[in-house]
Amino acid sequence: MLRRSRIGSWAITGGIAAATLTGCAGADVPDAVIEISNVQFSPMDATVEVGDTVEWRFDDGGLLHHVESPGEFDSGITGEGTFSYTFDRPGTYTYTCSIHPYMTGTVTVR
Ligand SMILES: [Cu+2]
């Protein structure tokens, strides 16, 4: 009896989570995700369309990083969380990490 009620409870929780995700899909789901781990951007080069949102995920065990493209976007220095930017003009955007200058990446917007 107890076991069955636990399973039922999990099913309800899952249903709510799925509904919440679906409800936010239009605004919050990035068009491209760039992982920051092992002191590099992955992928280093991303291509998106005008109007797309790119999300960088700081996932390097708390190591501080920075996503910076002077005059375009700047995540600030952080070791956790995410940074999103929506590109509304075509072009090739180069960015670096000010803490680790050898960390570079590009976003091509077409
Ligand atoms: Cu860095």
Mean pLDDT in order along the chain per 10 residues (110 residues): 42 42 59 98 98 98 98 98 98 98 98
Residue pair 55/33 in contact (Cβ under 8 Å)? The answer is yes
- Alpha-carbon distance of 59 to 85, in angstroms, equals 17
* pLDDT reported for residue 8: 40
Ligand 1 centre to CA of 77 (Å) is 9
In a shared domain, residues 56 and 24: no
| 35 and 79 together in one domain | yes
- Centre of ligand 1 to C-alpha 53, Å, is 21
Q: Which residues pair with 83 in a beta bridge?
A: 56
Print the domain residue range for 11. Answer: 1-29
Question: Does 6 share its domain with 59?
Answer: no
Domain co-membership, 74 together with 90: yes
Look-up of token digits 């005008």: 50
Task: Please report the pLDDT score of residue 70 as a whole number.
Answer: 96
d(CA 16, ligand 1 centre) in Å: 37
Helices (DSSP H) in 1-110: which residue ranges?
Answer: 2-28
Structure confidence at residue 27 (pLDDT): 56
| Ligand 1 centroid distance, CA of 74 (Å) | 13
The alpha carbon of 60 and the centre of ligand 1 are apart by a number of angstroms equal to 9
Identify whether residues 49 and 85 lie together within a single domain.
yes
Q: What share of the chain is helix, strand, coil (3-state, %, to 5)?
A: 25, 45, 30
Please tell me the total count of domains within the chain.
Answer: 2
Report the alpha-carbon angle 63-65-21, nearest 5: 90
Ramachandran angles phi, psi of 53, nearest 5°: -110, 130
**CATH at 104:** 2.60.40.420
Pair 3, 56 in one domain = no
pLDDT at 28: 74
